[in-house]
Amino acid sequence: MTQAEIKAVLTQAVATPNPLLQQLLNHALTGGKGLRPTLVLLCARFGMHDTLEVRQVAVAIELIHLASLIHDDVLDGATVRRNLPALHYLYGTVPAVLTGDYLFATAFGLLARSKKAVLTTVTEAIRSMCSGEIQQLTVTGPDTKAYFTYIGQKTATLFSAACRCGGILCRLKRPQQDYLARFGWHLGLAYQIVDDYLDLFGSAAKMDKPNRQDLARGILTLPVLRFLELSPEAARWQEKISRGLTATETEELIAAARHLNCDEYTAAAAGEQIALALEALDKLPVNPVQEDLALLASRTLDPLEELI
């Protein structure tokens, strides 16, 4: 199933006779790499499966991802998403929140046609995503353990759920589903670490979104946490970050972080997660699809070379 085919199923799933809603949905569906649906489709290839069912679940998981992006952008006040104005920025908060809710409901409508285990896997993932975002609101000060818990709930849970669903749909045994879920979990962590790396060190010109957003919002990601661990002036920097950095201070922090090899450290941390993902993949019965999944996993690290 190609990107275009995924897009076609997505478009069909969300169709509505309400013209404003359709406009909102079209905007919400523009762009995106479709990584999560690809994981469902690939993981389902470990065994016999119903192609239509797999497509519907893949699309449902993408819709849930899109819904959470829309709500996150409202909550973060983000203005750009996938090189376009964020939905709420263009249409307002009210239509954006409602579009997110509509996408959630549409996703569950698709999942209703599938196995119960799929539905419970996905609902647990969403509960975890919401719980993680709420937990994050209470984190104060640098805390690497809290960072990993947070990115686990925010990103890795849905990657992991996508892979497990693939496994459920091709009727893998539970321990094998668990390996797929573990693969997805570490892949998700790596993906988020790379994202956080790019937000700090990436070139805005090469990325499809503005960079240096996390620092501006006072969010301490892995490279900054590492920097605060190593810098002799950590206390002063932490104070500056909570107060809000000027553009010059941001550049200064990034240069100092590079000097202390926080970029390499972060890239290595992403690499470690990919290694753990591949280790889980190796535990599964030999199947040509492992190669595709391994390739997809290793490509997660490519932006570290391409976008800096």
By beta-carbon proximity to a second copy, the closer residue of 117 and 260 is: 117
By beta-carbon proximity to a second copy, the closer residue of 95 and 202 is: 95
15 binds a second copy (CB under 8 A): no
Structure-token pair, residue 263: 């970029």
75 binds a second copy (CB under 8 A): yes
Q: Which stretch binds a second copy (CB under 8 A): 32-40, 70-78, 170-178, 271-279?
A: 70-78
Binding mask 18-47 for a second copy (x = CB under 8 A): xxxx--x-----------------------
Q: How far is the CB of 107 from a second copy (least distance, A)?
A: 9
Q: How far is the CB of 108 from a second copy (least distance, A)?
A: 5
Strand partners, 17: none
**How many whole angstroms separate alpha carbon 41 and alpha carbon 37?**
6
Type of residue at 103: L
Strand partners, 85: 80
Closest by alpha carbon to 65, among 10, 2, 16, 140? 10
Binding-site member from 30, 52, 83, 101 for a second copy (CB under 8 A): 101
Closest by alpha carbon to 256, among 240, 242, 276, 275? 240
Binding-site member from 42, 66, 104, 253 for a second copy (CB under 8 A): 104
Binding-site member from 8, 29, 35, 98 for a second copy (CB under 8 A): 98
Q: With CB under 8 A, what is the number of residues at the site for a second copy? A: 42
Binding mask 209-248 for a second copy (x = CB under 8 A): ----------------------------------------
Give a three-class secondary structure readout of 244-261.
CCCHHHHHHHHHHHHHCC
Burial class of residue 208 in the structure, from the number of CB atoms within 10 Å of its CB (0-12 exposed, 13-18 middle, 19+ buried):
middle
**How many whole angstroms separate alpha carbon 126 and alpha carbon 46?**
25
Q: What secondary structure letter does DSSP report for 205? A: T
Secondary structure of residue 85 in the 3-state scheme: strand
**How many whole angstroms separate alpha carbon 77 and alpha carbon 65?**
18
Residues 109-168 that bind a second copy (CB under 8 A): 109, 111-113, 116, 119-120, 123-124, 126-127, 129-131, 133-135, 137-138
Structure-token pair, residue 50: 């119903």
**How many whole angstroms separate alpha carbon 279 and alpha carbon 281?**
5
50 binds a second copy (CB under 8 A): no
Binding residues (CB under 8 A) for a second copy: these are 16, 18-21, 24, 68, 71, 74-75, 93-95, 97-102, 104-106, 108-109, 111-113, 116, 119-120, 123-124, 126-127, 129-131, 133-135, 137-138
